[in-house]
Amino acid sequence: MATHSFSSLPYAIFTSHSQPSKRYLSLPLTSLYGNRLLLKPSTRFVIKHRSSVTTATVSLSLPTAKPDRAPTEKSPKWSSRSIKSFAMAELEARKLKYPNTGTEALLMGILVEGTSQAAKFLRANGITLFKVREETVNLLGKSDMYFFSPEHPPLTEQAQRALDWAVDEKLKSGESGEITTTYLLLGIWSEKESAGHKILATLGFDDQKAKELEKYLNEDIVMNYK
């Protein structure tokens, strides 16, 4: 007749932040052949946990179609909010399963980031992320449900020109400081035939509002979210 017994096996757990510690594992020992099976508690199991390191590269600039414009120490830099808005624009394009990042995605990116003067101005004028996304689908339609956007959907020509317009205008101003999301928003507005411009116009944005927005060109911080 088979004999059932229990034995405690010590084992050690190693982590990257602590010394090895002993614990005991209780195992039921069963003989399949009717004989007593004896197991000495000398067997050790060593479990090692290796911590993995994930690295990410954060760009301090945005794409340009002008190869002669090599970044230098004196070149204006994009603000952190502008860069985050661009990253959010790529994400919005992927959510909608679009193959490219267009001016409509740049517009949504500004609203998703949400803390800049440009985003505050849009919301104050009734232009919200929900409305922009809805108008985007109305204008451009829905993508094939089985289509998967690339990790970084490439910019459309109009979106690229909007980015370059922002840099050019910053250089023309002669002002020091960073290229804010206000420059980015006005760059979208400068592309008259783009989806972003058409969506803004549909939602009530016009040249008069663009002029009002210009006073925030060099301001990119809003301490409260409204």
Name 24's bridge partners. Answer: 10
Is domain 80-224 given the CATH code 1.10.1780.10 in the classification? yes
Give the per-residue pLDDT at 68: 64
What is the overall mean pLDDT for the chain? Answer: 78
Give the per-residue pLDDT at 44: 44
Question: In this predicted model, what pLDDT tens digit does every residue of 38-68 receive, in sequence order?
Answer: 444 444 444 344 444 333 334 557 777 666 6
pTM above 0.75?
no
Beta strand spans in 31-167 (E): 45-48
Provide DSSP, 14-47. Answer: E-SSS--EEEEEEEEEE-SSSS-----TT--EEE
Tokens 């990257």 found at? 16
Examine the pLDDT at 225 and tell me if it is beyond 50: no
Question: In this predicted model, what pLDDT tens digit does every residue of 129-187 receive, in sequence order?
Answer: 999 999 999 999 988 767 777 888 999 999 999 999 999 999 998 888 899 999 999 99
CA distance 221 to 226: 13
Question: In this predicted model, what pLDDT tens digit does every residue of 76-131 receive, in sequence order?
Answer: 899 999 999 999 999 999 999 999 999 999 999 999 999 999 999 999 999 999 99
